[in-house]
């Protein structure tokens, strides 16, 4: 899934840093799991992974790609079944396609060109059928999350966006015309069992207790992920029991659920210190972007204070920054290259 801050390209850098620093494989807490790419890599490397995040969509990915060890052979059959259902007019069609007969709270749903009518109807059918299969006991818990992740991934591939859901394109992109299908990825068979939590990072760290490694990859700036990815979040939460409350021109989720305090620049230092103090980790590996709230000097000073021996190891790597769209008239990127900073400290 296209995701701001996704560490897939930087995994070799992260894993190499751990290895070259002599950090032995053990237990790890991925405190801001996101799409769970780091958790998956750690699990594949033999770590016992505990992951957490505030967003339900992240929890779905954690359960599907990290907690699940194996997959029921019937999952592929169910994925084909969900992909081939007749269209139905459900929540996604009513609020996020141009075929709606109604309008959303605070905005005209008919103007929301996130999905074609056909794809929106197929997404609705797949999501509603999966919930019915779960309630009927037709799919087990691991299979449910694997298939739900497949629905979210499949929807992302046909979403008429530039990579985030804060807005939609005013013209249909080629990918939006492709047929929606459920994209199933098989989980990694780990050497040790993994856990996942839908929980604040600090509270999760406090509950976990002693671990060998705390990996911290928080939001870098004022972007709220629950707003940038509100449709994946809606798909993760579902609407069988209660329809999500949405608002505004693009149908954002109403309320504060899923909003991160880490996106407020003035609070980041205090939050960082609180997380490091709450964690029972022996080491902390902090990933922070050059475009984040804290500069390298501020981060170095904060971590030096938290370090058990006053030492901070600092590593950097250049990479091509995420672009939500391409250069065009009226839209020019000031920087094409960003720097990923990794800080490693011994906490205790």
Question: Is residue 159 a contact partner of residue 165, using CB atoms and an 8 Å limit?
Answer: yes
Q: Considering Cα of 192, then 195, then 201, then 204, what sign does the dihedral take?
A: negative
Distance separating alpha carbons of residues 132 and 320, to the nearest angstrom: 43
Among the three residues 208, 241, 256, which one is the final residue of a domain in this structure? 256
Residue span of the structural domain in which 105 resides:
73-186+228-256
**Do 286 and 344 sit in the same domain of this protein?**
yes
| Max Cα distance, the chain (Å) | 64
Same domain, 177 and 58: no
Are 101 and 42 members of one domain?
no
Same domain, 123 and 163: yes
Find where tokens 């091509």 sit.
320
207 in the same domain as 317: yes
CATH number, residue 6: 3.40.50.150
Q: Output the pTM of the full model.
A: 0.90
**Co-location of 179 and 269 in the same domain:** no
112: Cα within 13 Å, side-chain hemisphere: 31
111 and 216 inside one domain: no
What would the two tokens of residue 11 be? Answer: 């995994």
Please tell me whether residues 28 and 165 are part of one structural domain. Answer: no
Each residue's pLDDT, cut to its tens digit, for the chain (348 residues) gives 888 877 888 999 999 999 999 999 999 999 999 999 999 999 999 999 999 999 999 999 999 999 999 889 999 999 999 999 999 999 999 999 997 654 443 344 557 999 999 999 999 999 999 999 999 999 999 999 999 999 999 999 999 999 899 999 999 999 999 999 998 998 888 878 999 999 999 999 999 999 999 999 988 667 788 989 999 999 999 999 889 999 999 999 998 888 888 877 778 889 999 999 999 999 999 998 766 677 788 889 999 999 999 999 999 987 666 555 554 444 444 556 777 889 999 998
DSSP summary character for residue 328 = B
The domain total for the chain is: 2
Same domain as 52, residue 124? no
Both tokens assigned to 147: 């298939």
CB 217 within 8 A of CB 34: yes
User: 138-160: per-residue pLDDT in tens?
Assistant: 999 999 999 999 999 999 999 99
| Residue 208 shares a structural domain with residue 252 | no
Note whether 59 and 83 are same-domain residues.
Answer: no
- For the four alpha carbons of 200, 29, 37 and 13, in that order, the dihedral sign comes to positive
**Collapsed DSSP state (helix, strand, coil) of residue 73:** coil
> What is the tens place of the pLDDT at every residue in 58-111?
999 999 999 999 889 999 999 999 999 999 999 999 999 997 654 443 344 557
The answer to whether residues 59 and 122 belong to one domain is: no
């Amino acid at each position: 899934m296209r995701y701001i801050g996704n560490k897939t390209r930087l995994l070799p850098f992260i894993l190499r840093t751990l290895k070259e620093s002599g950090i032995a494989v053990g237990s790890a807490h991925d405190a801001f799991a996101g799409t769970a790419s780091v958790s998956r890599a750690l699990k594949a490397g033999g770590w016992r992974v505990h992951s957490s995040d505030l967003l339900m969509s992240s929890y779905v990915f954690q359960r599907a790609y990290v907690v699940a060890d194996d997959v029921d052979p019937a999952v592929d059959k169910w994925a084909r079944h969900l992909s081939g259902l007749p269209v139905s007019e459900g929540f996604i069609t009513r609020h996020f396609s141009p075929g709606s007969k109604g309008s959303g709270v605070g905005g005209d749903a008919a103007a929301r060109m996130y999905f074609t009518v056909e794809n929106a109807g197929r997404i609705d059918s797949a999501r509603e059928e999966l919930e019915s299969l779960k309630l009927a006991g037709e799919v087990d818990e691991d299979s449910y999350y694997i298939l739900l992740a497949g629905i979210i991934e499949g929807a992302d591939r046909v979403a008429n966006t530039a990579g985030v859901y804060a807005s939609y394109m005013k013209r249909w992109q080629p990918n939006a015309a492709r047929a929606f299908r459920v994209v199933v990825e098989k989980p990694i068979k780990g050497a040790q069992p993994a856990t996942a939590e839908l929980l604040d990072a600090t509270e999760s760290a406090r509950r976990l207790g002693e671990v060998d490694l705390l990996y911290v990859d928080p939001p870098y700036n004022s972007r709220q992920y629950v707003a940038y990815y509100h449709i994946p979040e809606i798909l993760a939460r579902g609407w069988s029991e209660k329809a999500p409350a949405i608002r505004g021109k693009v149908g954002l989720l109403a309320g504060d659920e899923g909003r991160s305090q880490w996106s407020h620049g003035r609070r980041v230092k205090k939050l960082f210190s609180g997380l490091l103090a709450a964690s029972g980790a022996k080491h902390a590996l902090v990933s922070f972007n050059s475009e984040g709230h804290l500069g390298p000097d501020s981060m170095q000073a904060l971590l030096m204070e938290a370090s058990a021996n006053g030492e901070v190891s600092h590593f950097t790597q250049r990479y091509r920054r995420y672009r939500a769209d391409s250069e065009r008239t009226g839209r020019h990127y000031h920087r094409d290259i960003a720097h990923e900073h990794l800080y490693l400290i011994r906490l205790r």
